[in-house]
A and B are shown apart, each in its own frame.
Chain A
Amino acid sequence: MSDMAVSGSRLAGAKGSPDTSDAVRYADNRGEYRQMLPIKQWGLVGIELRKQFFRPRTYIVLAATAILPPLIAAALAVSGSTRPERVQAMLITPSSSGLSLWYIVLSSTEKFFIPLAVALFAGEAIAGEASWGSLRYLCAGTYSRTQILISKMTVAAILCIATIAILSASSLATGLAAFGTAPLPVTVAKTVSLASAVGQLGGTARVATIYSVPTAIWKLLLSTLYGGTLEITIFTFAVLASVIWDRPIVAIGAGIGLAVVSWNLQTDAIPGLDFFAKYTPTHGIGLWQWMFVSPALYAGMAGFIIKQIIYGGIFLAAAFWWFIRKDIYS
């Protein structure tokens, strides 16, 4: 009991005294007495935020997200930012406007980077706690399994939204700083007849539309929200995997795997399964670009969003069903 006696001497003498305050005093690393915040019921979301916010993983993902747009801007500057880049269905010249970077980043991250971050946060929701061996202690309290899952999903969703918000803000700030505040020209990357051409180039022409900065920002925000709906499916599938398996790497892999398989099916990479392409979650994600033609085209976008809601609802219901009935060993 010698250790305990030593520790007891470091306490600030409140032991045994009337409980007049919720604050706890204790000696810190330097042997100085400190007063700790009052003990109170923070609520599960607050507790979960505290757990996740101080994780190195969280900082690394958010920092990588913030750094990505400057890296892409640097790469574009090195490779020639005055040259038009084909970005899916459009031609974008990076140096033409600061907003072009946001457009390019949105297009290039929707396939892998954002699904990776979402799968990481969602896949660790329950499996991360299980891997620490602390899930059994959390589930052995008076909070219901439903409350626990809701709080973990809420915090994971906050981190996912923060990732997308940081990516967008960083893209906007970096783009404006690097390429200026000129209006955003967007060119459809296909040839059209002379009669409908805005500009002429030999016998063919490319349709270019120029958007003012406020309009472009508004359209890019809408595009980000639209692309973000894919993450509903990735998120809920990773959460489902997280409650089924106790290993975070498996749950994260399942979320990323869904995105990769979906992209492969969509691009006819697996012969014979092309009929399935339109049912894949990623099918239709690029439709946001057609908001940047004049007049804007919205065909298929509502169907894409409804598809995500249906998949998300199915995966979410399955996750709750499983977790409420799961035997907890970890």
Chain B
Amino acid sequence: MDKPTIEVRNLVKRFRNGVIAVNGLDMEVCPGQVLGLAGPNGSGKSVTMKILMGLIRPTAGSVSLLGEEVRSGGNALGRVGMLIDGPGFIPHLSGLTNLQLAAATCGRKVSSTDFEEAIELAALGKMIDRPYKTYSHGMRYRLGLARALLGHPEVLLLDEAATGLDPVQGRAVREKVVEAAEDGASVVYAAHQLYEVEQICTHVVIMQKGRQVISGSLHSILPPDGSTNLEQVYIDAVNGSRLGGGLGAEI
């Protein structure tokens, strides 16, 4: 088995107001794996993703990417693509210029072929030359995904990457994620829609109030007879956790 490219050990994030967003999270992702990060709103998924990118400093624990401890401006971040909390581009610049700026700041080599692939993936047609602020929700997310995949990053962090997309576009996004994993990328895919997680993920971590209530490979979590699905497992886990007991441990 490959060495994990993402390693999270006993991760804790406590805000200044005392709220604990992440509490003792452990997870690892190897090349080719797609880890689904699921949980209700406020369960700590986005904070975890931002800690992985060095945007938020953890209170305790360790996070390493590609064998390097995560720190703001670290070299490993250049090998990571992300789409977290929405696309976030410069509104008065065109999609094309925004992609150019992303290519110049992402920290990895982006060849002209890579760039053309990104333009193709964004699928903006003539709108690629129009200001970003004129784009629809779906166009913005496609551009965001194109930026995340620019230059074939070794690690991909996607948070609600298919939110608000129509079924065709949503499927295209999921196909791209699987394709990236098949090419050897390590992917963390946070989503509310559990059918998405079930479709594309090899492993799952379900979080509740900052704690992981379920973690493991999808095969180990779901019974082989198909008698239940991830949604039911998730509901049972979250309800169990709310009742104070629940699964509470790694499966």
Contact = CB atoms under 8 A, between A and B. Distances in A.
A132 B55 contact: no
B101 A51 contact: yes
A2 interface: yes
B120 A134 contact: no
A137 B54 contact: no
B126 interface: yes
B168 A2 contact: yes
Interface stretch (B92-100, B232-240, B242-250): B92-100
A136 B78 contact: no
Interface string A31-50: 10000101111101001001
A79 interface: no
Interface stretch (A12-20, A152-160, A285-293, A297-305): A12-20
B101 A142 contact: no
B82 A140 contact: yes
Interface stretch (A193-201, A208-216, A256-264, A321-329): A321-329
Indicate the size class of the contact surface on chain A.
35 or more
A132 B119 contact: no
Nearest to B110: A39
Which size bracket describes the interface of B in this complex?
35 or more
B112 A50 contact: no
B100 A39 contact: yes
Contact of A328 (B50, B74, B90): B50
A11 B103 contact: no
B109 to A, nearest CB: 9
Interface in B97-121: 97, 100-107, 110-113, 115-117, 119-121
Interface string B198-211: 00000000000000
B113 A16 contact: yes
B90 A132 contact: yes
Contact of B113 (A15, A44, A56): A15
Nearest to B91: A132
Contacts of A10: 125
A273 interface: no
B172 A54 contact: no
A24 interface: yes
A134 B56 CA distance: 15
A329 B47 CA distance: 8
Nearest to B72: A145
A3 B129 contact: no
A330 to B, nearest CB: 8
Contact of B116 (A6, A24, A132, A329): A24
B89 to A, nearest CB: 6
Nearest to B175: A1
B75 A142 contact: yes
Contacts of A11: 116, 119-120
B85 A15 contact: no
A134 B90 contact: yes
B89 A134 contact: yes
B13 to A, nearest CB: 9
A110 B80 CA distance: 47
A134 to B, nearest CB: 4
A213 B86 CA distance: 58
Interface in A51-67: 51, 54-56
A51 B102 CA distance: 12
Contacts of A16: 113
B77 A142 contact: yes
Given A14-B112, A39-B111, 5 more contacts: A14-B113, A51-B101, A56-B92, A139-B72, A142-B107
7 contacts: A4-B120, A14-B112, A19-B113, A38-B112, A39-B111, A140-B82, A327-B50
State the 5 A-B residue pairs at the shortest beta-carbon distance, nearest first. A133-B88, A142-B107, A144-B73, A3-B123, A328-B55
Interface of A: 1-4, 6-8, 10-11, 14-17, 19, 21-29, 31, 36, 38-42, 44, 47, 50-51, 54-56, 132-145, 147, 324-325, 327-329
